[in-house]
Amino acid sequence: MSETTQRRRILILDGHPDPDPGRFCHALAAAYAQGAAGAGHLVHRLNLADLDVPPLTSRAEWESESSSPAVAAVQDDLLWAEHLVIIYPLWLGDLPARLKGLLEQVLRPAFAFHGEAVSPGAGRLKGRSARVIVTMGMPALIYRTVFLGHSLASLKRGVLGLVGFRPIRDTVIGGVETRRDRERVLARVGRMGARAA
């Protein structure tokens, strides 16, 4: 680790719900983790496919504290982390439902705002940074220009920014089914990990 790079606590959430090891999101999470650990950062990985978290079904449930040990463990990981990395595939123009469900469970107001009124940017996770990496079949340029990166913007502003994450950087990786430069992409993500960026 260089003298200018501080050692950071990094939580990587691999948000692909399919446990198949051939999924590119899993390789991206591994590359980021390897780059970060190799640079001396402390790394913890969570795999959505390994988590058993049911969806919320009512406003009363949303406004209460979770009694689920799995949800509490993810909340503890978020409090530990200084930098969060979320990696997921774009499905039907949005996050996979299981990833959205996990975020709803984990970021309830009782946790994210100490049960107080929601105030944008003033959440309990203030002072932490984030990186969002999204994979998709369409070209990244089409997603950003035609679809205006809608779901990514919603996640960054309406979820992560709301609870206090800042800065929030993103990487969009398009054409994943046909890419021939996967090793180059993995190397780039590994370098992000080394910089904790």
pTM: 0.94
Residue 8 pLDDT > 60:
yes
Percent of the chain having pLDDT more than 70?
96
> How large is the average pLDDT for residues 123-148?
92
**Mean pLDDT of all residues belonging to the chain:** 92
pLDDT higher than 60, residue 3: no
Work out the pLDDT band at 155, boundaries 50, 70, 90: very high
Q: Name the phi and psi angles at 160, rounded to 5.
A: -65, -45
What letters, b where the CB count within 10 A reaches 16 and e where it falls short, cover 109-136?
A: bebbbeeeeeeeeebbbeebbbbbbbbb
